[in-house]
Chains A and B, each alone.
Chain A
């Protein structure tokens, strides 16, 4: 049984976030008070400044900086939006409230701030992340998409009204949503010795029904397609704080492969952030070679799929491990893809009885 980490890790992080937000406010305030136009410097997120760092095994931003100055006519509005977003985040976090990107977009109106569209407000939030080095979940802005977890893990809430309360994540057979309350919880204890992440809800439910969590002593995570950042951070915590190895099961196509990759190595979009990825997680299937070995029913890869494969082939993240290149080449050779459900041709439990143990062993 893994020991829970320092009890105060969550609260400490919250304190840091609040300090850095008000620090930003102070910096802007002081510049104004000195009679100068406030400006902020942050790393550039343009593609030329995004590098893959094999050391940390994720994308990082290079040395290039951009300066936002309220002196510049094109910057003054985004600058105000940014200051507002910081204030808004500060209020949310200190009042222990959460909101979504969509909320941010609408909330601005109450402060007589406007965003042209959702894209613009999202960008400002990303600026704030880049400046502070925290991800938006840290300042209480959560994505819409929700993924889920199931298994024997006891957590302790830190959200208002629930502080100190604990819960075991097997208490609901549909799984528990990985939302703000869960991601801000401390881990208390677990009997699991691994994490199995799956792409699709159908398989997640099947695994629970088939007691995969017991049979394989694991926590089950539903990524629901591309895993949201909160979920990626949560998986990382499971890996780092509880020392649980992570195995990822996706569809056998370039898109599924990439869902696994983002959990492992992060995305270029989040190059300004750390601790969202789990470098030691494993992609366990469905591989292209599984399609061949297990003689799965397939669909042909279409042109879009092929184009994606060529892109991925050149992606630095895919050069880390020869496994990736091998699988890409196999996909290209067989020109076929298969969904996780394809195992049903051998009976509903085949995937749990045969495939899963074999793959867990193979990718250990």
Chain B
């Protein structure tokens, strides 16, 4: 009889075995995912300092790996906050280690992305990764490391300390990985373009394996208001989170516990809630049994009178920046933007922003071109499953005299402390009813605006044509009638021509 063996695997091992769920599905997706994860870390790092990001990405060819795949060296450099030396190894060598578990809007959330890229490189090339970083102190730290997959620990192979003469600040990550750049290229370029679209204050540079340079230059140094950290909202908690909070809380009774750890819970609300849920004020939270914790979670969700979460933990782009980004990357004839008021789903605040661009360099595809973003990250895969795309498809555009044959691009940006992704690969957004409703309302608003624009433009066009007709034919009437009447001097028609113009101008202003 075969013997069943039991073993524990580490987090690194788990993600190594299940790299699909993090987006490292195949050699072309892997290249894309690696670049994306590192670029996002860099953008986060610069933004957390309120510095307009400068991100430099270079992908260079190192050699054949197999018939279809090659080895590339990836280098991503930023002007971000840098990493304190003692955290560098774990930040890049230990899965589920990160600084972004707090409740505020950031690109990174899982403590996983950068490591998955490095892990993938390590598995496919057996080469170490090089991390160089400085927090603008007097020294620059260089680490050469690998990940001990079974133990989920960084293995430091080398460490160098350099004098930071030039006051450099930022991080450079460099490692080798296997992949298929030429299949990944279109998506990768899309990714840069779209990233530039929602980060119009960033400079992005990409040098591809052929040595081609792609530059996306910032058009503004304005940056969105950075998000504030927030506590979890009572509607959004689960048992896991409650247990974690109980473990770390210094509070000795329920009243303090609620007040200290939950968003929108003050003295009065805490009192009312405890009364509502028949809990004693003075109970020590650490004494709650498992059943009581489960019940507390249910009661928190049931209580109707918590104020909805405020949105200061969110950092949407804002209408002006959104517009700037769209104009810069899409060069449309016209763009309308709209930001919804904050809303919530299951205790998580979110804001949706919209842009609708028309004409100019936007191609006619027989279908709307849809750009989807979540927390300023472009979502490029699984478009058909995405909630925005579904709402766009279901909407009655004809009501707004808009149709898919027009050169139109629609941009939807969802910001949330917890974007309702369907997968860890962060590719598409699930169809929560609250989210769907916000998207539908926002789309209607931009549709109304574009309708307004179109009818205004039609009007101006008509006006221009009208004036054209007069200025073409009135002189002819003058010329012909002069000859017909046998006169010498043609009549002066300037006054008539100006009068149609004036009349036209009035009409346009209405």
Contacts and interface: CB of A to CB of B under 8 A. Distances in A.
Interface stretch (B118-126, B146-154, B385-393, B487-495): B487-495
Contacts of B473: 70, 76-77, 79-80
A35 B491 CA distance: 8
B484 interface: yes
Contacts of B482: 25, 29
Contacts of A70: 473-474, 477
Given A33-B491, A73-B469, A73-B470, A83 B486 contact: no
| Residue of B474, B481, B483, B491 ringed by the most chain A CB atoms within 10 A | B481
Contacts of A22: 484-486
A86 B466 CA distance: 25
A244 to B, nearest CB: 39
| Residue of B474, B484, B496 ringed by the most chain A CB atoms within 10 A | B484
Given A32-B491, A35-B495, A79-B477, A21 B484 contact: yes
A32 B478 contact: yes
A241 B313 CA distance: 103
| Residue of A22, A73, A80, A112 ringed by the most chain B CB atoms within 10 A | A80
Chain A interface bracket (under 10, 10 to 19, 20 to 34, 35 or more):
20 to 34
B101 interface: no
Contacts of A36: 496
A25 B477 contact: no
Nearest to A73: B466
Given A33-B491, A73-B470, A79-B473, A87 B478 contact: no
A90 B469 CA distance: 25
A33 B493 CA distance: 8
A184 B470 CA distance: 39
A255 interface: no
Interface string B495-509: 110000000000000
B480 interface: yes
A154 to B, nearest CB: 37
Nearest to A24: B484
Given A70-B474, A76-B473, A28 B481 contact: yes
Interface string A303-320: 000000000000000000
B476 A84 contact: yes
A35 B477 contact: no
Nearest to A76: B473
Contact of B481 (A25, A73, A77): A25
B106 to A, nearest CB: 58
A92 to B, nearest CB: 12
| Residue of B466, B469, B473, B492 ringed by the most chain A CB atoms within 10 A | B473
Given A29-B481, A83-B480, A76 B474 contact: yes
B484 A25 contact: yes
B499 to A, nearest CB: 9
| Residue of B480, B483, B485 ringed by the most chain A CB atoms within 10 A | B480
A143 interface: no
Nearest to B487: A29
Interface in A216-247: none
A26 interface: yes
Contacts of A77: 469, 473
A33 B495 CA distance: 10
A38 B495 CA distance: 13
B491 A76 contact: no
A348 interface: no
Given A26-B485, A37-B496, A79-B473, A84 B491 contact: no
Contacts of B496: 32, 35-37
A36 B495 CA distance: 9
A66 interface: no
A80 B466 contact: no
Contacts of A38: 477, 481
Interface in A35-59: 35-38
Contacts of A33: 491-492
Nearest to A90: B484
Interface string A8-31: 000000000000011011101100
Contacts of B492: 33, 35
A113 interface: yes
Contacts of A86: 480, 484
Contacts of A35: 492, 495-496
Contacts of B484: 21-22, 24-26, 28-29, 83, 86-87, 90
Contacts of A25: 480-486
Contacts of A28: 477, 481, 484-485
Nearest to A78: B473
Given A22-B485, A32-B496, A84 B470 contact: no
Contacts of B476: 80, 83-84, 111-113
A112 B466 CA distance: 19
A169 B496 CA distance: 56
Contacts of B474: 70, 76, 80
Given A37-B496, A76-B469, A76-B470, A32 B477 contact: yes
Interface in A182-202: none
A75 to B, nearest CB: 10
Contacts of B487: 29
A77 B486 CA distance: 22
A168 B89 CA distance: 120
Nearest to A37: B496
Contacts of A90: 484
Contacts of A79: 473, 477
A84 B480 contact: yes
Given A29-B485, A32-B491, A32-B496, A87 B480 contact: yes
Nearest to A70: B477
Interface of B: 466, 469-470, 473-474, 476-478, 480-487, 491-493, 495-496
Given A29-B484, A29-B491, A36-B496, 8 more contacts: A25-B482, A25-B483, A32-B478, A70-B473, A70-B474, A77-B473, A83-B476, A111-B476
| 4 shortest interchain CB distances as A-B pairs | A25-B484, A25-B485, A32-B491, A28-B481
6 contacts: A22-B484, A25-B480, A70-B477, A77-B473, A84-B480, A87-B481
